[in-house]
Amino acid sequence: MKIVALAGGVGGAKLAHGLAQILSPEDLTVIVNTGDDFEHLGLTICPDLDTVCYTLAGLANSETGWGRVNETWNTISNIEKLGGPNWFRLGDQDFGTHIERTRRLKEGQSLSQITKDFCKAWGIKQTVLPMTDSPVRTIVDTDEGELAFQEYFVHRHCEPRVKGFRFDGVEVAEPASGAREAIESADAIVICPSNPWVSIDPILRVLSLTPAPLSHEERRKPIIAISPIIGGKTVKGPAAKMYAELGIEPSALAVAEHYRDLLTGFVLDIKDEQLSDKFRGKILATDTLMNSSADRARLAVDVLHFIGSL
């Protein structure tokens, strides 16, 4: 079964890793949000792309949910010592990724080509694509005004109250080379348990999977989503807080509503099974928490069986 997974950071990366354990490498394409990308210290940083790649390569720091395992912090320590910006913690190995990517971007190479080469260097056999090679930047509208995503997310610890989102550059951004083809040839699209507002919406916008009507071919293709919200809370990240601040009760139900027109099926946690009656579409209730590598594989198997049953 050929799968395209749409992923943001941690949650998306974990399920992508689960799917990678089950599917043949040529059968999995992960299309990753780049709305969180930003320019910092002169470098182009792609947090979600790196989290997905590091996770697939077994290089991710599973404790922090970002950055590399066995990391050192000497570059940022010296920057800090010199009075430079220290709010975005970058490890020494991680700096290497950003420096080399930025060098190649400045040479005019595309983010998707660079990502392809990085994946090869890291031994990743699956296809990992940025959603687009054009800059798209998520802007969070808050009670303190508009904030660039990382400013909101990392620098301000998601404290400002969210009023809405926009994705600078999304109107002119074309899907990265290979993304449309991967979707066309996929048997199903899996929307990973990532933040619907800031991780998945930008991808859907760039891929024109919403709000534009789907093509006949795409309409026949199962699209399923896994709720990142369990028992009204997110495992990680501000999705639940965002729902609440936007006046929507955070729940798996709210996530399914978010994607409503798009979904063929929806996966929620077994803890939320009582909500199943409230959905119109096909539902799978299962254990969606992914603490271990085995958990990821188990959820991937459940998801693939669910798709097979649709």
Contacts with a second copy by CB under 8 A lie at 41-43, 71-72, 74-79, 81-85, 91-97, 99-100, 102-104, 106, 117-118, 121-122
Name the residue nearer to a second copy (CB basis): 93 or 208.
Answer: 93
Residue among 100, 122, 121 at smallest CA distance from 111 = 100
Residue 40 Cβ vs a second copy, minimum distance, rounded to whole Å:
9
Q: In the bound complex, what is the minimum distance in angstroms from residue 117's beta carbon to a second copy? A: 7
Residue 53 or 204 having the CB closest to a second copy:
53
Least spacing, CB of residue 106 vs a second copy, in Å: 6
CB of 22 to a second copy, least distance (A): 27
Burial annotation 47-62 (CB, 10 A radius, 16+ → b, else e):
bbbbbbbbbbbebbbe
* Dihedral (CA of 306, 205, 211, 272) sign: positive
Supply the minimum distance, in Å, between the C-beta of residue 131 and a second copy.
21
The CA distance from 85 to 40, in Å, is 9
Beta carbon nearer to a second copy, 49 or 267? 49
Phi, psi of 298 (to 5 degrees): -60, -45
Q: Largest alpha-carbon pair distance within the chain?
A: 58
Nearest approach in angstroms of CB 19 to a second copy is: 25
Strands 127-130 and 28-32: parallel
Which residue, 64 or 72, is less far from a second copy as judged by CB? Answer: 72
Nearer to a second copy, 66 or 306 (CB): 66
Q: How far is the CB of 126 from a second copy (least distance, A)?
A: 18
Residue whose CB is less far from a second copy, 71 or 187: 71
CB of residue 114 to a second copy, shortest distance in Å: 9
